[in-house]
Amino acid sequence: MSEIVVALRDVWKYYTIESRPVAVLRGVSATIKRGEIVGIHGPSGAGKTTLLKIMAGLEKPDRGEVVVDGYLLTALDDKALATLRNTVIGFVPQDAGLIEELTVFENIELPLLIAGVDKEERRKRVEELIEYIGLRGREKALPKYLSGGERQRVAIARALANTPSVILADEPTANLDWANAKRVLQLFDRIRRDFGTTIVIVTHDPRVLEFTDRKFLLEDGLLREIPGL
Ligand SMILES: Nc1ncnc2c1ncn2[C@@H]1O[C@H](COP(=O)(O)OP(=O)(O)OP(=O)(O)O)[C@@H](O)[C@H]1O
Ligand SMILES: [Mg+2]
C-alpha cells in the first residue's frame, strides 16, 4: 500500500488576469499513495479546481512535473492524455458534468464506448455499476430527474467505469445536504476498499475532511499538509 500513485513536483500555473500573469499555483509538491483518500481544502479561488485539472491532465502546468500511476503527464501529447483520462484517471467535475441529453445508463456507458468495449460487455458493466451506486431502476432516467446526490453518484459511476487507479472529485458534496453528502463520501470509501482506488476530493467543506486519510490546505498558491488529529 506504499506505492505512490500521484506525484506533483514543483507545479506552477499562471493565468492572465486583467492582462497580467498571476501565479495561481506557486510550486506545489505532494505525493499520494495507492488506496489513500486525500482531501484538498482551501478558500474559493485558491486554485483547487486548477490543481485537480492538472492532476487529471486537463490543464498543463507552466512548470513542474505531474506523475499519475507511473505516467509523466507533462510529457504526453493530447492523444495519450485523452486515453489516460479514460482509463487510469476518473474525473468527477465540480457540477457532476453529466450529459443532460443522455440517460443514466448512457452517461455511465460513455467511457466504455470510448474505450472500445463491446456492447454486451458494456451492458453488463453499466448494470453492475448502477447496482453498485444504488440506482437500479433509474437506468432510463435523464439527469434532470435525479436529485443532487443521485447525480453525483452517477458521475462517480462514470468515473469508475474503466476501473481507474485514481478518482479526482471536485466538490462532490457541494449543494448536498449532509445526509446525502455522507452517502457520497461513504461511496468513495467503499470504492477504495473494493478496488484499491486512490481518491482525491477537493472541498471547501471542512466536515468532508473528517472522512479523508490525509488533509491538505491550498492557500497562497501552496499546498500544505494539515497534520492528522
Ligand atoms: N481559465 C482561466 N483563465 C483565467 N483565470 C482562471 C482560469 N481558471 C481559473 N482562473 C483563476 O484562477 C484562480 C483559481 O481558480 P480555481 O477555479 O482553480 O479556484 P477554486 O479554488 O477551485 O475556487 P472555487 O472554490 O470557487 O471552486 C481564480 O482566481 C480564477 O479566477
Ligand atoms: Mg473550484
What is the chain's pLDDT, residue by residue, as a tens digit (229 residues)? Answer: 459 999 999 999 999 989 999 999 999 999 999 999 999 999 999 999 999 999 999 999 999 999 999 999 999 999 999 999 999 999 999 889 999 999 999 999 999 999 999 999 999 999 999 999 999 999 999 999 999 999 999 999 999 999 999 999 999 999 899 999 999 999 999 999 999 999 999 999 999 999 999 999 999 999 999 987 5
* Terminal CA-CA length for the chain: 21
Q: At what angle do helices 104-114 and 148-160 cross, to 10 degrees?
A: 20
CA of 134 to the centre of ligand 1 (A): 33
Computed on alpha carbons and rounded to an integer, the radius of gyration of the chain in Å comes to 17
- The values of phi and psi at residue 165, to 5°, are -75, -30
Is the CB of 24 inside a 6 Å radius of any atom of ligand 1? yes
Q: Counting atoms of ligand 1 from 1, which one is nearest the CA of 52?
A: 18
Helices (H), 133-216: 148-160, 178-195
Q: CA-CA distance, 22 to 25, in Å (whole number)?
A: 9
pTM for the predicted model, two decimal places: 0.95
CA of 135 to the centre of ligand 1 (A): 33
156 within 8 A of 184, measured Cβ to Cβ = yes
Taken in order of first residue, the domains within the chain and their CATH numbers are 4-226 (3.40.50.300)
Which residues place a Cβ less than 5 A from the ion ligand 2?
48-49
